Amino acid sequence: MLLTRPFTVKPFSSLKRRLPGTWRGLAGSAWLGVGLGMSMGLGMTLALTLGPAAAQAAPSSYKQPSPAIRELLDAPLPTRLLPSPDRQSVALIEQRRYTPLEELARPVMRLAGARFDPRSATPQNIVGILHLKLRPLLEPDATERVVELPAGGLWHSFAWAPDGQRFVIARRTDTGDELWAGATSNGQLWRIYNVRLNNAIDPDDLAWLSAKEVVVLTVPDQRGSPPSRQQTGPVIQENHGKASPERTYPDLLRNPADENTFEYYARSQLTLVDISTGQSRDLDKPDLFTSISAVGNGQALLTERITRPFSYNLTFDDFPTTVEVRQRDGKLIRELARMPLKQGVAIDGALPGPRVFYASPTKDAAVYWVEALDGGNPNSRAAFRDRVMRLDPPYTGEPFEVQRMPYRFTRLRFLDDGQHALLTEEDRSRGWTRTYLLPLRGTQSRPLFEHSVRERYRHPGVPLMRTLPNGQQAVQTLGGDPLLVGQGASPRGDRPFLDKISLRDLSTQRLFQSADGVYELPLAVLDDRRLLTQREAEHEPPNLMLRETGSGNRVTALTRLKDPSPQLRAVRRELVTFKRSDGVELSFWMYLPPDLKEGDRRPALVWAYPLEFNDAALASQLSGSPGRYMSFSSISPLNLLMDGYVVLMDATMPVVGDARTMNDNFIEQITMNARAILDKAEELGAVDPRRVAIGGHSYGAFMTANLLAHTKLFRCGIARSGAYNRTLTPFGFQSERRSLWEAKEVYLKLSPLLFAQQIKEPLLLIHGEADNNSGTFPTQSERLYQAMAGLGGTVRYVLLPYEAHGYAARESAGQVQWEMSQWLKGCLGDPRPSAAGAGSASGGAAAAPAEDRASTARAAGSR
């Protein structure tokens, strides 16, 4: 059953003038405490109460959106295309779109930040595979081989073997997670018996030792019965004078019984599987493994396992961890580090000792890690913050330093030549990143490129990765030079590119760039004359293409997937750019409903998500491409186009300023953004400026509530899975690094809960009952609803059973679309008015006049 909270409204004498269309017609002359309650039947009903608060809504079944939206929601997902590592075959994977509600309702363990099904030892919500086909990659007309997936259970986690001749896939059942293997040549499947995968806390971790041997984590054979969850005494936590600023995490351990239960389910066995024969054998003894990697060409294993003491304030990722290098048979060679509990570490800080371990993917079989040189404290003065260390086989000697970095380490990517790596660091105080070309032995590193972390137009791209014959990932090179693939952002939209960087002089050569009007992403360089890409267009789903240089630069379509949502061809979209009052460039994608006629003005929904920038020029850079395939997620507000609304999607909401203090004027900046958006929408002619709503998800919901609390720019709002009381996230949120006690005025000002009395426009709150995102606990929406209801505001609270931060069930998607559509119809009026009432609906709906919007924008900061 779906739980909803009803409207609570102020007396109609003050509300009537603000309600358009349907709602205004319901407003009577009495102000004796008549409340509006959303009927779970066909429309609106009136509920007489003894006071201004509305009656509690009864539990209800799930609602269905309009047939046009339901058809979109039930369209299949585009087929996923996964080329094999040897580039000879391609897997065509049809994935399920929704997680069944009954599956979400299954008993689940929520321990130490992990959510998993205790019966199958799999994550609660996994992407299921409905159908699987294989075919030769480079033969466009080749026959597809259907892989017959036996009925029962849920198939998931397809992966190619390193040579592409075989593959593995898992099946979740009520008794465990099975491992299966298959042959590429004929699609035949076989089960690996006596193996139950343990993906409870480390999903799909595979370590290939060869093309047919893989090490997996499995459920130990003799682990006994689960421990009791009954508490045997009080739970005590204490701190002895050491600062430990922790973010707010869900699903933490709460007592000793939780600790024992987590340890029981997290314990795994290293198991070596030969997928060609189906044989398996256990390696060493079970432990709390969280990571396994093959070293080099399978000469050794690098493992990480967590140890006690556990924490009630941190997730398992930050528990004490022991890192070890082992023989192929699992026998211990050497303990490399014991990383302590990550407690007392400053925000943006690091552990003081060894951390972040890498196994070399090439034949040198070295192990690399990072060590802090500043004690891990970002506030300490230090010429160098981190260094990279290396330990060579047989792992009994002393490690040696490879590189020192003035900023904090972020990643290390190895080139497939076995001699170089790309080393990246970040200066988090100013949001700046730098990448070096790092020789793994001998000569000094050379800076390759540096840029803002928010850079788009001049972003050099990211390394093009490929799977080596040993199953590990490395940066692909061509003629010995590394390849980079990038989005190619520009004022005209994204045009992906492929570049080659010369190791000799670090010059860059562009090998390919997508044409205008399409979005073509490089996937792999097959040789010096052939390039594999994935191309899509506005109404063409992603398909694989083969580009050949010479012979007229021939292009061959390797796949020809059809558009699963052809009804969207009638939707029009346009990238619109404009400036806010201080000159910062803004943009939004204007989506027009299929039935919009020339000269019509429709009610609109603005959907946005704020981003922080320390440079106005970076904030002005555009994102997106008119060549991207038009496909809507099941909870996207774009589905409302089918009900007749205009949607201004991905409206940019930059907050520009110094990284440490930019939130000081967050309200003023989002207000400036919102006014510019509304002014531009009015200028374009398709939007009725007096009937515009604002909405967002997560941080966008936070923005929505703040705009309604501090301005009168919008008729109503939709806020999904947001946080509205910043005192509940006292050690930072988003890019805010100050604590509540360092910036109390900012935290209070950015808490719309504390300004609930100023939210005069209707607000729809939607939240997943099991939100698993840091800081956005369902209580955030519940408390804002209670505040608005208690103060006589117009508010509706919808709590979706079993749903997390995103909503996965078909029923939930339908309910969310129904809620948003009905809410907009209630506060903006019908987007498709009858001919007789067209003038009334367009020109007479209650809305803030343009002059009110202007005056409110000027005064927003003083409210």
As annotated, the active-site residues are: 698, 771, 805
Cβ-count burial 36-56 (b if 16+ within 10 Å, e if not): bbbeeeeebeebeeeebbbee
Cis geometry, peptide bond prior to residue 309 (ω within 30 degrees of 0): yes
Nearest to 722 by CA among 700, 738, 740: 700
List Cβ neighbours of 441 (8 Å cut-off, separation of 6 or more).
419
Q: How far is CA 523 from CA 84, 135, 484, 503, 526, in A?
A: 12, 18, 11, 22, 10
Report the side by side order of strands in the sheet with 122-123: 109-111, 114-117, 122-123
The tally of CA atoms less than 13 A away on the side-chain side of residue 355 is 24
Q: Are strands 189-197 and 166-172 parallel, antiparallel or unpaired?
A: unpaired
Q: Strand pairing of 687-697 and 716-720?
A: parallel
Q: Are 674 and 713 in contact (CB under 8 A)?
A: yes
User: Residue 374, Cβ neighbours under 10 Å: how many?
Assistant: 18
Q: Are 645 and 593 in contact (CB under 8 A)?
A: yes
Tokens encoding 220: 């130990």
755 contact partners, CB below 8 Å, separation of at least 6: 709, 710, 863
Give the end-to-end CA distance of the chain in Å, rounded to a whole number.
Answer: 40
Helix (DSSP H) and strand (DSSP E) numbers for the chain: 13, 49
Angstrom distances, CA of residue 568 to CA of 538, 595, 639: 10, 12, 10
Place of tokens 């001998």: 442
Q: Give the 3-state secondary structure of 727-779.
A: HHCCCCECCECCCCCCCHHHHHHCCHHHHHHHCCCCEEEEEECCCCCCCCCCH
Cβ atoms of 2 and 803 closer than 8 Å: no
Specify the length of the chain in residues. Answer: 863
